[in-house]
Structure 1
Amino acid sequence: MDRSHTGEDARGPLDRRRPRLFLATALAVVVTVGTLGASHWRPGERPLDVLGLGLALASPVVVAALVRRPVVAVLLAATAVGSYLALGYAWGPAIGGLLGVLVTVALTGPARRARVVAWSGAVVGWGAILAAAALRTDVPRPAGILGGIAWTAVALLVAGAVRERFARVAAHRAARLERERTAVATERLRIARELHDVLAHSLSAITVQSGVGLHLLERDPEQARSALTSIRATSRDALDEVRAVLGVVRLEDGAVVAGDHVPAPAWDLATLPALAEPLRALGTTVRFDAEPLPEVPPHVAGIAYRVVQEALTNVGRHAQDARAVVVRLDRQGGSLRVRVSDGGRPGDGPTPGPSGHPGYGLRGMRERVEGAGGTLYAGPTRDGFAVDATIPWASPPHDAGSGTQEDT
């Protein structure tokens, strides 16, 4: 947890200089006017002079300049008020300057330190006031002294409540910003996975088909024409998928409304054989072995589609010598199992292989499957390389990167 936003270590409302200067100015005006008025209406006491006015204004100066050192600030304010009263100046708003310093200290700096220093300062300040009162003949009645102490306690309690409220608001704001950053990062990751899967598969297919077209251009123009037609169809399909993925970024045609889900492409597992065309063009045999399945939830179908797509793309890029690829889909308990193996036998479990540094494709597959609560193995087997994913049938539809619907 970020300690800068906890109740004990959060900064206070008056840590910024501008609010403190405003408070110091207001306090100086109140103390000056009040002290001049008290001196005017109590002519029997010591007349207000430069020394008395300076002692009365010490508290506003402390608020403006020394509140970053709360212990020094409280001691200076208590000393100034005690000296002001001990020298015989009129009782009055000069005591309010000390209260202003205590409240400022309570709203500044780390909460625990501010609370301790403010309440300790109240004890020290009223101790100085009582000590000064003992040296005077015009001591206020005990009810007045008790009333002043009570108002000081009330002011500090209110300052503490304001501080707690400020800390809660700051923590809420920090949590909201963190949620927004997480949502943005999640959406960027989802878009990156979708773009990688679409472009990697489509560009691999285009590369294979263009190679076939160049090879047959002179010997068999009709086959070359067929390859070019396939390139055009693959490019068109890739553009359609890219537009669907980027729709969540451009927010066109009012497709996204605050609080709604973002529509994204959904896939039918019956279209999986079309993903094998680039490999078949290379002469690789691709066999689909899928047992009859009940209706597959859309988000599970999206994850399975992307796993098969990326696995077949990797075979074409990294295992050109593979002569046979088997894609098997079956239901095992409460999960859909998807296995793509080149040279292996369907149904064999993968054997552990050495861990490497996966590329974006393998990383994206793992994030999709594990985000839905499933497991994925991608690595060497006894006969080649296999991708083996187990996707819970009842996985939540808002999993990480399912490719169907996600919260934004």
Structure 2
Amino acid sequence: MRVREWRAGVAADVVIGPVIGPVIGPVIGAVIGPVIGAVAAAVLAFYCYRINASWGGAYWVFGCAAGAAACALALARRRSRLWTAVAGLGVAAAAIVVARVAHLPAEPGPGVTLGLSVLVASAVRVLPPRPACAVAGGGLVVVAGAFAAASQPAVGAMNAVGWAGAVAAGLSPRLLAARRRAVEERVRRSERMELARELHDVVAHHVTCVVLQAQTARLLAHKQPDRLATSLADIEAAGSDALAATRRVVGLLRDPARGLPALDGLDELVRRFGDHGPAVRLRLPKDEDTSLWPPEVATTVYRIVQESLTNVSRHAPQARSVTVTVTRARGSVTVEVADDAPPAPARRLRRGGHGGYGLVGMRERVEALGGTLRAGPRPGAGWSVVATLPVPAREHP
């Protein structure tokens, strides 16, 4: 249940964002340029008016020219965000020096501050980490220069606010985009792992059956030729089962609501295993409607039994019997698969999960549902796999 809820929670980031983004992005890009131009014109006009009223003469000309240059670079930033930002920083630095030497009104003025803020925000949002940090650092140097050169602290404060707003405006969408990419990668990885587990469970089980039947046929060809036809028929049946199971996996990929194995299929799974392996005793909960169990729990129980029986075929040919027990307790389901094969060092190593993905896949399935898995030798002889899965009581009235 938690996996399903998590996937639903990230649907907006993974699906809606990439679909809507390409539609809204060009619209915003077409609107924001004229808006910046209109705001820049208004700021420059107000700045010239205030300087002319306070200083008189032509003192406003230099500040207006520097501001117009910075704003023009901001409007042309899409051509090269890095070099327009560098040029904007150069305009701001030159304005500070010239204003200080020529005793002009303190710079950077509002026009330069506006243009530089747009350039810094654009660079921080789009450029790679190192150039983006360099541009942001250059903006901070300009702010420090404004504080050091200006006789009025208000000019430095205005530039500091503009720089901080630019960094925040550029960093926020950058972090959101990084989060979206991380979420997409997690979803892709989850889907790949689920597909890998499903393919492993299906292919490994049925191919193992085919291999065992082929080995039997080879022995019969030398010792009992009259039974060879029956063995070949068994191989054909096992191959057909493998093909049908592969089709179910394909159906599951096309429609997750179809193709999921259920507990009703355990009888057939046990019967097929018993036809070419040790006898299997299946114990299911009495007076329990397993069809009410969550599908992910039923599927996980089925896959654990399937993989455990496959491991018995591969690594415990000496086993005489296997017991599959599924029990229902309050709030949980426990499945245990135990065999009675004699202990062997090689078997202990291989059944422990080295060199294969069976145990890893079972553990991932169980832990994804919040359950626990234990696998290891039994006291005396044999091997057991025990998995406990939580099942909410509300799912089972």
Deviation readout 1:299-338 (Å, 9 max, x if unpaired)? 2111111001011100110011111111111123322111
Using the TM superposition, give the Cα deviation of residue 355 of structure 1 relative to its aligned residue in structure 2, in angstroms.
6.8
Deviations 1:196-236 (A, max 9, x none): 11111101111122222333347656643333333223222
Q: Which AA in structure 2 matches 1:120?
A: A
Q: Could you tell me how far apart the structure 2 residues matched to 1:310 and 1:164 are?
A: 52
Of 153-162 and 269-278, more deviation after overlay is shown by 153-162
Aligned to 2:392, the other structure's residue is in SS state: coil
> For 1:358 and 1:330, how far apart are their aligned partners in 2?
31
State the match for 2:281 in structure 1.
287
Residue 234 of structure 1: aligned partner: 238
Q: 1:65 to 1:375 in 2, by over 3 A?
A: closer
Deviation at 1:278, TM superposition (A): 5.8
> In the alignment, residue 198 of structure 2 is paired with which amino acid?
E
Aligned to 2:366: 369
- 1:155-194 counterparts in 2 under 5 A? 157=161, 160-194=164-198
Deviation at 1:394, TM superposition (A): 2.6
SS in 2 for 1:263: coil
Letter in 2 for 1:123: F
Equivalent AA in structure 2 for residue 121 of structure 1: G
Distance 1:70 1:243, change over 3 A: same
User: Counterpart of 1:120?
Assistant: 144
Q: Distance in 1 between matches of 2:275 and 2:258?
A: 30
Distance of aligned partners of 1:239 and 1:312 in 2 relative to their CA distance in 1, 3 Å threshold: same
Letter in 2 for 1:210: A
Name which structure has the greater RCO, CA cutoff 8 Å, separation 6+.
1
C-alpha displacement of 1:184: 0.6
Distance 1:70 1:120, change over 3 A: farther
Q: Distance in 1 between matches of 2:169 and 2:287?
A: 56
CA 1:356 to 1:247, structure 2 compared with 1: closer, same or farther past 3 Å? closer
Tell me what 1:351 maps to: none
Question: What residue is the counterpart of 2:100 in the other structure?
Answer: 82
Matched, 1:390 2:384: no
Give the Cα separation in 2 of the matches to 1:396 and 1:200: 35
Compared CA separation, residues 395 and 245, structure 1 to 2 (3 A): farther
Alpha carbons of structure 1 residues 235 and 283: separation in structure 2 relative to 1, 3 Å:
closer
CA-CA distance at 1:389 after TM superposition: 1.0
Deviation at 1:171, TM superposition (A): 1.3
CA distance 1:229–1:396, shift in 2 (3 Å)? farther
Paired position in structure 1 for 2:264: 270
Is the 8 Å Cα contact of residues 201 and 313 (structure 1) preserved in structure 2? Answer: yes
Given residue 377 of structure 1, which amino acid in structure 2 is its aligned partner? R
User: Which protein is richer in helix relative to its size?
Assistant: 2
* TM-score, length basis structure 1: 0.62
Within-5 A mapping of 1:55-204: 76-85=94-103, 99=113, 103=117, 107=121, 109-110=132-133, 117-127=141-151, 157=161, 160-204=164-208
Match of 2:305 in 1: 308
User: Unaligned regions of 5+ residues in structure 1, if any?
Assistant: 1-22, 39-43, 131-145, 256-261, 345-353, 398-408
Please, which runs of 5 or more residues in structure 2 have no aligned partner? 1-35, 52-56, 75-81, 125-131, 342-350
Corresponding residue for 2:18? Answer: none
Number of aligned residue pairs = 322
| Closer/same/farther in 2, CA of residues 370 and 323 from structure 1, 3 Å limit | same
The aligned amino acid for 1:392 is P
Kindly, what percent of the aligned residue pairs are identical? Answer: 29
